[in-house]
Amino acid sequence: MTMILSVIVPTFNEERSIAACIASICDAAQPWSAEVLVVDGRSTDRTREILAGLQQKYPQLQVLDNPDRFQVNGLNVALKHAKGKYVVRCDAHSIYPPGYFSNFIDHFEQCGDASVGNIGSPYVTRNDANTPVKEGIAYAMSSPLGVGLSHRSSTASEKIRAVDTLLFGAWRREVFETVGFFDEQFVRGQDYEHNLRLRKHGLQVLMIPGAPFIYTTRSSFRNLRRMVYQYAYAKGQIMVKHRLAPNVRSMIPACALLSTPALMKLGMFNTTLAFYGAAVALESLRASVSRRSLGVGAGVLTAIPMMHVSHAVGVIVGVLDNLLLNGRSRSMTSTR
């Protein structure tokens, strides 16, 4: 029987979420001939033990070793083993609905367009900490004010549209023969860089409608700040490597930060800051009303400015580091 679907899942220390994730993947993969390739970065918790138990229930589940630990290395290990006609990347922090994979396969089969390189679908964010402030983090990460009109925005799923990148994605397996695997130079941002290469080869990156999956966000402000900084740093790194002109959305926070001295000199800083503060406060109020919780609003009020500043600093440092120091910064070595 021809293998139709390969689902690839990089993991490291996912004992809290891996069982529910794999169960949802295996249920959603029916009725396709499918393999589920979990590539573990030598977890130090019970992840491997839990996976061994899950293999008794799900014979399509294979556990592969990732000695380099980092997620990007794990993705390439999985791609080298994948046998399916279609490859879908999943995240161990997520839960996938019935029909999730069928939506991708049906789109590829029905559109018949060889120029489609990668497709992704909408998602909703949640926070496993289950506190109002932490729920505010999840809200901020899907707010257009927090992330712009990107694939992370709550407005991303309304129609088929071309995007610059996606959260995870689905590909015809042969596309990796055309553009190559993920670039292991990028501990963060490897998906953005790979989608950039797809688009350089004339292939489309599309967001399509469908039942959303549930994506668990960072559970603390510290982790959120670090994640946003690292992804922004990687964008700066990618700009330098590919001599890429940045898109406007990616540069708004950095330009705002860099313009601070000029705004001060022109006497416009306080007015600009007041407008910005009002916009964030309005979004915080909107969150409080929609979720009926002042705590959620407080989380949004903190998270959005933190995300903007972290993104601004990350892009600036990423560009300067790779222009002046040839990327010798150790900024990214602590991430998986």
> CA–CA separation, 54 vs 139, rounded Å?
32
The confidence score (pLDDT) of residue 327 equals 59
Q: Please name the residue that has the structure tokens 């489609």.
A: 116
The confidence score (pLDDT) of residue 334 equals 44
Strand partners, 7: 36, 88
* Beta strand pairing call for 169-172 and 94-95: unpaired
* Residue 50 tokens, joined: 């839990």
pLDDT in tens, 177-206: 999 999 998 888 899 999 999 999 999 999
pLDDT in tens, 48-74: 999 999 999 999 999 999 999 999 999
The confidence score (pLDDT) of residue 3 equals 87
In which residue ranges of the chain is pLDDT below 50? 153-156, 328-331, 333-336
The confidence score (pLDDT) of residue 49 equals 98
Specify whether the CB–CB gap between 32 and 4 falls below 8 A.
yes
At a CB cut-off of 8 Å and minimum separation 6, what does 123 contact? 94, 167, 212, 213, 214, 215
- CA dihedral of 182, 231, 20, 176, whole degrees rounded to 10: -10
220 φ/ψ sector (left φ>0, alpha ψ -120 to 50, else beta): beta
Structural domains for the chain: 1-112 (3.90.550.10), 223-324 (no CATH)
